[in-house]
Amino acid sequence: MASKKTTSKKVTSRKTAAKRGPVVAPATDAARIIAAIKKIPRGKVCTYGGVADVAGLPRRARLVGTVLRQTPANRGVPWFRVINASGRISFPLGSDSYKRQRKLLENEGVDFAGGRVNLDHYGWPPREKMLDEMVWGPP
């Protein structure tokens, strides 16, 4: 009779994971993200994913948010220039943090229309047009 081979997977509960402490980006990744954010020019914005790409960490947008959350405010990082992929501020609408970020962006000349920033105009780095868009126009 053939014996059944069982594999045991160690399952980690949220409670156990919480005991381990917060997720911390490796120092080199965090430094690359901070350096990328410091490159965003005045009057421009970058998405979380865009920052990750510039930092050489593609598909790590959530890590950018984690690093920003863990970075002390007195580090001189222009955190307010980082917005979400839809061109909106990620803080809850009307919160003090939302109002502060919007004011800082408006002071640099960034305009909002319907609560959004036009990423084609204010986005950094400039978005490369896809071949279809160059031939047929914007979607």
pLDDT band at 17 (very low <50, low <70, confident <90, very high): very low
CA atoms within 13 A on the CB side of 66: 14
How many other β-carbons are positioned within 10 Å of the β-carbon of residue 27?
A: 8
pTM of the predicted protein model: 0.75
Which domains does the chain show, CATH number per domain? Answer: 25-126 (1.10.10.10)
Of 106, 88, 36, 109, whose CA–CA distance to 67 is shortest? Answer: 36
pLDDT of residue 74: 85
Alpha helices in 21-111 (DSSP H): 27-38, 48-54, 61-70, 96-107
Of 67, 43, 71, whose CA–CA distance to 57 is shortest? Answer: 67
pLDDT of residue 6: 52
Grouping H, G, I as helix, E, B as strand and the rest as coil, residue 102 is helix
Which has more pLDDT, 139 or 94? 94
Question: What digits encode the pLDDT tens for the residues 24-38?
Answer: 667 899 999 999 999
